[in-house]
Structure 1
Amino acid sequence: MSRPIQAHIDLSALQNNLRVARRHASSRIMAVVKANAYGHGLLRVAEALGEAEGFAMLDVRDAIALREAGFRQTILLLEGFFSADELPLIAEYELSTVIHSMHQLDMLDAYPRRSSLQVWLKINTGMNRLGFVPEQVPAAMEKLKSHPAVREITLMTHFSHADEAEGVADQLERFRSLTATYRAPRSLANSAALLRYPSSHSEWVRPGIMLYGASPFADTSAQQLGLRPVMTLSSGVISVRDVKAGDRIGYAGLFRAGTTMRIGTVACGYADGYPRHAPTGTPVLVNGQRTRTLGRVSMDMLGVDLSGIADADVGSRVTLWGAGLPVEDVASSAGTVSYELMCALTARVPIVAD
């Protein structure tokens, strides 16, 4: 028998979450599938989201893989090109590319083909990662408009606080002021803005985390938003034992039993992608009942509290996150975000999709 851990990918949940995005926005949808579709598998996710008008990712090789698999939608490289050598591939496979820096504009000047590139000009409206600062925007826009290699321009920015109380108003106003005189498609809204700020939608929206069934908000659950979890990470109990008061569990003995307890060991650890820093008390389901982790997560195993779960035994199913246990709950307990948990799933975990 194989180790009991697996990740189940619910493709119907992906399609449901795409429908939720459409109910909120009439814009064209650019589904964000970077990081191997947030750990869910690029090709299987793209197929399930085949009704989206576009896909966004980082690596030109992944973009080419989608083209060669038959996807004809707009495919956007979110960080653009990293060397001039990528430009012929971008043109050959009809990819769209972000341009966010003068360095990329300089590389574009060395590219000889005419009217071959669809570019997205990224404007820094306050995120301060990538993008042209306001003073650079007019010159960058004029250069792209007159550049012989450029066929089409889309304007874009990225919100830093769409999922928080501060919202998008300041960045949205800055973007509108900077682009008011330009006739070009626009793209601003991530998942949080798509769901909460209709005024930010423009021609393209870029949902990411919501497509995978997780809420972008701390104060609103995925279920409240109509989203369904796509990834369920599950495993099994491989050992059960009784411990007495004072016994310690796991490396460094971080958990000490305060009374007689029944505990289980689960075949899942940080080598599978479960967060090592998840503390005692991180929620898990055993036979569908909510309980908690105990002690330090090790490479291949973690401890769980079986007290009060009368039918728990070796072989009992354990849900680490997903159906019945929102990934956001686990992430919050572990002091991280749902994105990290899903993206961290390692290659040794078998994936079943249906």
Structure 2
Amino acid sequence: MSRPAIARIDLSALRHNYHLARQRHGGRALAVIKANAYGHGAILCARALADTADAFAVAIVEEALELRDAGIRQPILVLEGAFGPDDLAHATAHDLWMVVHNAEQIALVEAHRSIRPLTVWLKMDSGMRRAGIAPAAYAAAHARLRALPQVGDIVLMTHFARADEPDVATTAEQIATFDRATAGLPGERSLCNSGGVLAWPAAHRDWARPGILLYGADPMPSDDHGLQPVMTLSSAIMNIRDLAPGEALGYGGRFVAEVPTRVGLVAMGYADGYPRVAPTGTPVAVDGQLTRVIGRVSMDMMTVDLTDLPAARIGSPVELWGRSVSVNSVAQAAGTIAYELLCNVKRVRREIVSTTPA
């Protein structure tokens, strides 16, 4: 019998979330599947969306080549762009779209020779202060690329810093900055990440770039946007014991029972990707009923409170996150974000399911 730690990947939920994003935004949508599709499996997710996604986006050329080797033929945008001439050679050979976000990358494109026009997404720094052409220099950069015979279409893009905070003015300021700097320039536009798709209709243009929302982790978890979790991380109770008041549990004795406490040992730990820093009180579900993590998460095991779950037994199913326990609630308890938790899942078995309507 196999260890019960499992990550179930619901591909119908993935398709549902993609359709929701495209419907909410309008126009077309890149499915962002960088970082192994945020831990869900890039090839698996690309194949699940191959008949519906307008295009895909990854971080680096190596991620794009893995998709091409797996038979994915939709357009693929490389979000970090080229690090050297070899990346542009791969872009030409494998028909990849490339982000250009600085003068050095423009120079690489100028030096690139190809009979196949390169599709460029020219990125503006409209306020993220991380990567992108300054607004005052954007029109000149655009003209410089348009003059090159090796450049075909140019898509105008920017990236939002605080789109998941709809009450903060930063995104509205970024939209206005982008619109001023691109006024009169030809080309399609792309502004919206997941937060932009859900909260900023004023930024809805030709292309959306949904990422985290595809996987059902709402960037604004206080609202219900109809997203469905794609990953359910689960395991089972592997041992049960009782603590008397005053007895300490696990490494460091961080949890000390104040009342008689029934403890379930779960086959899941930080080597599987569950956050070591998740404190006592982090939500978890046993037999479909909510309870809490108690004590310190260790490498291969963790402990949960079964005191109010008298029917729980060895073998009882445990959901670490999924439909009963939001990954956002675990991330909040652990002082991180859902992106990190999903990307960190490893070692556990994967099961592919389709349980919800597309």
- TM bracket, shorter-chain basis: over 0.9
In 1, Cα distance between the equivalents of 2:124 and 2:299?
42
| Seq. identity, % | 48
> How do residues 1-150 of structure 1 correspond to structure 2 at under 5 angstroms?
1-50=1-50, 51-150=52-151
Who is 1:196 aligned against? 199
In 1, Cα distance between the equivalents of 2:255 and 2:20?
42
Instruction: Tell me the CA shift for residue 114 of structure 1.
Output: 4.3
TM-score, with length taken from structure 2:
0.95
Contact 1:120/1:155, CA 8 A, preserved across alignment: yes
Who is 1:294 aligned against? 294
Who is 2:156 aligned against? 155
Q: Report how many aligned residue pairs link the two structures.
A: 350
Instruction: Tell me the CA shift for residue 110 of structure 1.
Output: 2.1
Contact 1:210/1:227, CA 8 A, preserved across alignment: yes
- Supply the AA of the counterpart residue of 1:2: S
Who is 1:264 aligned against? 264
Contact 2:139/2:185, CA 8 A, preserved across alignment: no
3-state SS in 2 of match to 1:97 = strand
3-state SS in 2 of match to 1:141 = helix
Displacement over 4 Å in runs of 4+? none
**Alignment counterpart, residue 172 of structure 1, candidates 170, 175, 180:** 175
Who is 1:284 aligned against? 284
Moved more, 90-99 or 44-53: 44-53
Who is 2:350 aligned against? 351
- Supply the AA of the counterpart residue of 1:166: V
Contact 1:262/1:307, CA 8 A, preserved across alignment: yes
RMSD: 1.2
What are structure 1's unaligned runs of at least 5 residues? Answer: none
Contact 1:115/1:148, CA 8 A, preserved across alignment: no
Contact 1:232/1:322, CA 8 A, preserved across alignment: yes
- Supply the AA of the counterpart residue of 1:303: T
Tell me whether 1:237 sits opposite 2:237 in the alignment: yes
In 1, Cα distance between the equivalents of 2:62 and 2:339?
22
Instruction: Tell me the CA shift for residue 311 of structure 1.
Output: 1.0
- Supply the AA of the counterpart residue of 2:168: E
Instruction: Tell me the CA shift for residue 161 of structure 1.
Output: 1.0
- Supply the AA of the counterpart residue of 1:216: P
In 2, Cα distance between the equivalents of 1:336 and 1:170?
27
Contact 2:157/2:189, CA 8 A, preserved across alignment: yes
3-state SS in 1 of match to 2:107 = helix
Contact 2:279/2:293, CA 8 A, preserved across alignment: yes
Contact 1:284/1:325, CA 8 A, preserved across alignment: yes
- Supply the AA of the counterpart residue of 2:301: M
In 2, Cα distance between the equivalents of 1:115 and 1:302?
54
In 2, Cα distance between the equivalents of 1:113 and 1:329?
49
- Supply the AA of the counterpart residue of 2:332: S
CA deviation map 1:198-223 (0-9, x unaligned): 22111100111111011110421xxx
What are structure 2's unaligned runs of at least 5 residues? Answer: 354-358
In 1, Cα distance between the equivalents of 2:18 and 2:109?
35
Instruction: Tell me the CA shift for residue 79 of structure 1.
Output: 0.5
- Supply the AA of the counterpart residue of 1:30: L
